[in-house]
């Protein structure tokens, strides 16, 4: 019996271990080794931190890196601000069928691929697109307006693609808040904003942090949205990695970029956890 459970445990664990080691750990170790070598001649390599130094010495790389980080943090905050009222309404105010329906409506856009959804935004925002035509038709502007290929367009795309990943954890934590606790807040003299600040947000903190971590990682690692909505000047760090690997065949530098990105995301997640006083176990459990 005991041996049986043990065997079952091993069998259940095997796919996970295989997945982790084959797809994550081994490639990363290899990438790390690649990032640490420098090409000194045809087919000749030496171990050196040259690739990392290149990253630090080239302003464009550093600038893109910072820009990606700041934009991702901003996108995360905007997503939180937009998603919180939506989640609050679904979790606390809507009842029964309306609640399921609203939740489904949040989910529906995710049934089509990210590519198609991003094209949807391009149709809306481009020079000959819906919004531009509408503004011209209404006589508000005189020529076509280009709303694509700028930072605002990237931001819209990032917020839109990651909404669901913020809404779901928020609904879960807000749903576990007893209505009576909110009522008790009112009963004891609390006003709407103070209850939000002292009761609702502290209660929803694990959901807020886990939503933020997911959205931040998705934004940071997003390739499609910045490329399509930001155009060729979008300067997103993942694009740099892509071009090093695919366009310039400089795997060494690409691997170093990949590692820098990994450190950045780990660092920012760590800072986020420290600032909010949450632990990873609490937010993921």
Partner 1 sequence: MTPDLQCIDLTKRFGDTTAVSDVSFSVPPGSFFSILGPSGCGKTTIMRMIAGFLAPTSGDILIKGKSVLDVAPNKRPVNMVFQHLALFPMMNVADNIGYGLRRAGLPKRDITRKVGEVLERIGLPEIGRRRVDELSGGQKQRVAIARCMVLEPDVLLLDEPLGALDLKLRERMKIELKALQADFDTTFVYITHDQSEALVMSDQIAVMNQGCFEQMGTARDLYYRPETPFVAGFVGDSNRWSGRIERSDGGAPELRTDSGLLIRGNAQGRALGDGQSADIFVRPEAIRLSRNETELTSLDNHLKGRVTSLLFNAAASRVLVRDEGSAGEIEVALPQSGEFDDLAKGDVVHIGWSGEQANCFAAGAE
Contacting positions for partner 1 (CB under 8 A): 178, 180-181, 183-191, 194, 198-199, 202-203
Nearer to partner 1 by Cβ, of 30 and 183: the residue is 183
The minimum distance between CB 116 and partner 1, in angstroms, equals 42
Nearer to partner 1 by Cβ, of 29 and 181: the residue is 181
Nearer to partner 1 by Cβ, of 15 and 189: the residue is 189
Nearer to partner 1 by Cβ, of 140 and 188: the residue is 188
Nearer to partner 1 by Cβ, of 187 and 281: the residue is 187
Phi, psi (deg, nearest 5) at residue 45: -125, 150
Structure tokens at 4: 């049986």
Tokens 């290149």, residue located: 54
The minimum distance between CB 278 and partner 1, in angstroms, equals 12
Alpha carbon distance 185, 197 (integer Å): 11
Alpha carbon distance 256, 195 (integer Å): 47
Structure tokens at 39: 């090409």
Calculate the CA 241 to chain-centre distance.
17
Nearer to partner 1 by Cβ, of 3 and 187: the residue is 187
The minimum distance between CB 166 and partner 1, in angstroms, equals 21
**Would you tell me how many other CB atoms lie within 10 Å of the CB of residue 190?**
17
The minimum distance between CB 206 and partner 1, in angstroms, equals 11
The minimum distance between CB 210 and partner 1, in angstroms, equals 17
Alpha carbon distance 26, 18 (integer Å): 10
Alpha carbon distance 184, 285 (integer Å): 27
144 within 8 A of 137, measured Cβ to Cβ: no
């Amino acid at each position: 019996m005991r041996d049986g459970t043990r065997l079952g445990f091993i069998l259940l664990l095997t796919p996970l271990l295989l997945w982790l080691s084959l797809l994550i750990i081994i490639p990363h170790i290899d990438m790390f080794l690649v990032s640490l070598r420098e090409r000194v001649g045809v087919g000749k390599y030496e171990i050196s931190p040259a690739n990392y130094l290149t990253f630090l010495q080239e302003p464009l790389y550093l600038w893109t890196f910072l820009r990606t980080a700041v934009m991702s943090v901003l996108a995360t905050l905007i997503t939180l601000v937009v998603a919180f009222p939506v989640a609050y309404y679904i979790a606390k105010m809507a009842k029964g069928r309306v609640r399921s329906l609203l939740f489904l409506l949040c989910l529906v856009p995710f049934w089509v691929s990210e590519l198609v959804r991003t094209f949807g935004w391009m149709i809306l925002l481009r020079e000959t697109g819906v919004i531009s035509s509408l503004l011209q038709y209404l006589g508000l502007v005189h020529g076509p307006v280009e709303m694509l290929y700028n930072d605002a367009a990237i931001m819209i795309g990032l917020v839109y693609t990651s909404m669901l990943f913020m809404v779901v954890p928020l609904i879960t934590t807000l749903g576990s808040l007893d209505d009576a606790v909110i009522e008790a807040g009112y009963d004891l003299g609390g006003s709407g904003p103070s209850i939000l600040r002292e009761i609702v947000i502290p209660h929803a903190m694990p959901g807020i942090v886990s939503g933020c971590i997911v959205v931040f990682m998705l934004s940071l690692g997003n390739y499609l949205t910045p490329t399509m909505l930001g155009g060729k000047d979008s300067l997103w760090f993942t694009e740099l990695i892509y071009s090093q690997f695919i366009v310039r065949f400089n795997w060494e530098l690409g691997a170093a970029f990949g590692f820098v990105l990994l450190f950045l995301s780990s660092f920012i997640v760590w800072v986020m956890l420290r600032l909010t006083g949450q632990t990873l176990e609490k937010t993921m459990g």
